[in-house]
């Protein structure tokens, strides 16, 4: 058993001052004020008297980091990525594909499914590493007009037959799928994917508002990197963005790196979606945590210079980390730390319907994050295990 004491705890919906948190077998067994509960004898105690405890971050859109691309990484590459993510405060994530030749995609889905199964077999004990919980399928059902850097020749029209090939290769581990709803066959695939429990997200799309509304009726409930790779908002033709920003049935995510979206629009996005339905993502690629140079993103090679990732003149992912995204949300949207933390914890957990993650309460997984008041990561604890790269305070 582990006991943790801090100055303040974010659940993140509520704040608890001078709390005591007990962890037993990878889960939170008790949250109390220190005045109401003594620390049990014989337990390991971690003390952070000047810091804040929050749930660890959840990234539902990430292609890689620390030099590893999730579509190419072997076991050692995935481990390096997961240790890197833990150091940035991420406890759970969805490895995200990019459009590629079908055989490449199927092989990648098989490898990622194996990584997810092995993580689950460890019963949540992941050595202080971020844990993959499912796959985010970004492509091949994307608009040619709004494809971004996804290779044109590998984009496919949606069909249940193709979706099932992808589903079988992933052994049912597809948790999130980005799709352009205006494509022929998209509404049928949206309905079938939703029936199988996939969170269907609208993105890389040139859809009008009526088509977007039809996709929501079919089962879509989220939107991918709002503003990016989407039909622009027009005051007489609001399109997909008009629906994403105004429909309370849709949650949505955004890349708050100051490059993909102007800070003023990050503020607008958070105001439009509110602190329950806005989600932070990184869209990070293998270059994250590395220097300038050329790095893989699925089947393509991206040039990174001065913090910007580019392929043939187009933005191609990011080198954003989730801890920086949270700090940027505070600066761009004018929210406090507790509100910014919710955009990277409770909200993505709610989107993915992971009831025991993204919150601090008895019974939840002990995926915890120690922060200073500016949002800098001091320590990450995943499944009750301390990330070795953090600065531990204990006795």
At 95, the pLDDT band (50, 70, 90 cuts) reads very high
Averaged pLDDT, 366-387: 93
Instruction: Answer yes or no: is pLDDT of 387 > 90.
Output: no
How large a percentage of the chain has pLDDT more than 70? 97
Same topology between domain 2-53+361-386 and domain 57-352 = no
Instruction: Answer yes or no: is pLDDT of 250 > 80.
Output: yes
The answer to whether the Cα torsion of 120, 123, 124, 127 is positive or negative is: negative
Amino acid 385: pLDDT? 87
Query: What do you get for the CA distance between the two ends of the chain, in Å?
Result: 13
- Beta-carbon contacts of 301 under 8 Å, excluding residues fewer than 6 positions away, are 294, 295, 311
At 75, the pLDDT band (50, 70, 90 cuts) reads confident
Instruction: Answer yes or no: is pLDDT of 33 > 70.
Output: yes
Would you say how long the chain is, in residues? 395
Instruction: Answer yes or no: is pLDDT of 395 > 50.
Output: no
The three state secondary structure string of the chain is CEEEEEEEEECCCCEEECEEEEEECCEEEEEEECCCCCCCCCCEEEEEEEEEEEECEEEEEECEECCEECCCCCHHHHHHHHHHHHHCCEEEEEEECCCCCHHHHHHHHHHHHHHHHHHHHCCCCCCCCCEECCEEEECCCCCCCCCCCCCHHHCCCCCHHHHHHHHHHCCCCEEEEEECCCCCCHHHHHHHHHHCCCEEEECCECCCHHHHHHHHHHCCCEECCCCCCECCCCCCCCHHHHHHHHCCCCEEEEECCCCCCCHHHHHHHHHHHHHHHEEEECCECCCCCCCCEEEEECCEEEEEECCEEEECCEECCECCCHHHHHHHHHHHHCCCHHHHHHCCCHHHHHHHCCCCCCCCCCCCECCEEEECCCCCEEEEEECCEECCCCCCCEC
- Beta-carbon contacts of 53 under 8 Å, excluding residues fewer than 6 positions away, are 4, 6, 8, 9, 10, 19, 21, 360, 368, 369, 370, 371
At 353, the pLDDT band (50, 70, 90 cuts) reads very high
Averaged pLDDT, 44-55: 95
Tokens standing for 140? Answer: 């091949």
Distances (CA, A) of 252 to 17, 60, 192: 31, 11, 21
Averaged pLDDT, 371-384: 95
pLDDT in tens, 269-295: 999 999 999 999 999 999 999 999 999
Amino acid 36: pLDDT? 87
Which residue ranges make up each domain of the chain? 2-53+361-386, 57-352
CA distance 353 to 231: 28
Instruction: Answer yes or no: is pLDDT of 392 > 60.
Output: no
Instruction: Answer yes or no: is pLDDT of 391 > 80.
Output: no
Enzyme catalytic residues: 283
> Is 266 in contact with 254 (CB distance < 8 Å)?
yes
Amino acid 192: pLDDT? 98
CA distance 33 to 1: 18
Amino acid 120: pLDDT? 86
The correct answer on CATH 3.40.50.12780 for the domain covering 57-352 is no
In this structure, CATH architecture of domain 2-53+361-386: Roll (2.30)
pLDDT in tens, 119-174: 887 755 566 899 999 999 999 999 999 999 999 999 999 999 999 999 999 999 99
pLDDT in tens, 297-342: 999 999 999 999 999 999 999 999 999 999 999 999 999 999 999 9
At 389, the pLDDT band (50, 70, 90 cuts) reads low
Query: Count of CB atoms within 10 A of residue 267's CB?
Result: 17
């Amino acid at each position: 058993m582990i006991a943790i004491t801090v100055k303040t705890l974010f659940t993140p919906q509520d704040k608890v001052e001078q709390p005591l948190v007990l962890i037993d077998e990878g889960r939170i067994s008790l949250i109390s004020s220190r005045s109401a509960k003594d620390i049990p004898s014989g337990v390991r105690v971690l003390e952070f008297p000047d810091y804040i405890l929050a749930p660890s971050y959840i990234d539902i859109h990430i292609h890689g980091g620390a030099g590893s691309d999730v579509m190419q990484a072997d076991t050692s590459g995935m481990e390096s990525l997961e240790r890197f993510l833990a150091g940035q405060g991420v406890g759970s994530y969805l490895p995200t594909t990019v459009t590629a030749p079908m055989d490449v995609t199927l092989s990648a889905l098989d490898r990622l499914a194996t990584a997810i199964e092995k993580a689950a077999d460890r019963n949540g004990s992941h050595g202080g590493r971020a844990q993959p919980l499912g796959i985010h399928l970004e492509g091949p059902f994307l608009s040619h007009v709004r494809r971004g850097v996804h290779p044109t020749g590998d984009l496919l029209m949606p069909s249940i037959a193709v979706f099932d090939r992808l589903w079988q290769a992933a052994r049912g581990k597809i948790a999130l799928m980005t799709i352009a709803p205006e494509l022929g066959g998209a509404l049928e695939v949206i309905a079938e994917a939703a029936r199988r429990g996939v969170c269907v997200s609208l993105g890389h799309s040139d859809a009008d508002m009526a088509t977007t509304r039809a996709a929501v009726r079919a089962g879509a409930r989220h939107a991918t990197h709002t503003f990016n790779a989407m039909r622009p908002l027009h005051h007489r033709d609001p399109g997909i963005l008009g629906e994403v920003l105004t429909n309370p049935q849709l949650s949505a995510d955004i890349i708050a790196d100051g490059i993909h979206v102007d800070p003023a629009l990050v503020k607008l996005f958070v105001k439009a979606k509110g602190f329950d339905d806005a989600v932070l993502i990184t869209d990070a690629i293998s270059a994250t945590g590395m220097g300038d140079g050329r790095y893989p993103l699925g089947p393509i090679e991206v040039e990174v210079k001065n913090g910007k990732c580019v392929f043939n003149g187009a933005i191609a992912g990011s080198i954003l980390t989730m801890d920086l995204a949270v700090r940027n949300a505070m600066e761009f949207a004018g929210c406090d730390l507790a509100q910014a933390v919710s955009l990277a914890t409770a909200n993505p957990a709610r989107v993915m319907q992971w009831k025991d993650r993204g919150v601090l309460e008895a019974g939840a997984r002990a995926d915890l994050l120690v922060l200073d008041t500016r949002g800098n990561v001091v320590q990450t604890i995943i499944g009750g295990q301390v990330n070795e790269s953090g600065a531990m305070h204990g006795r």
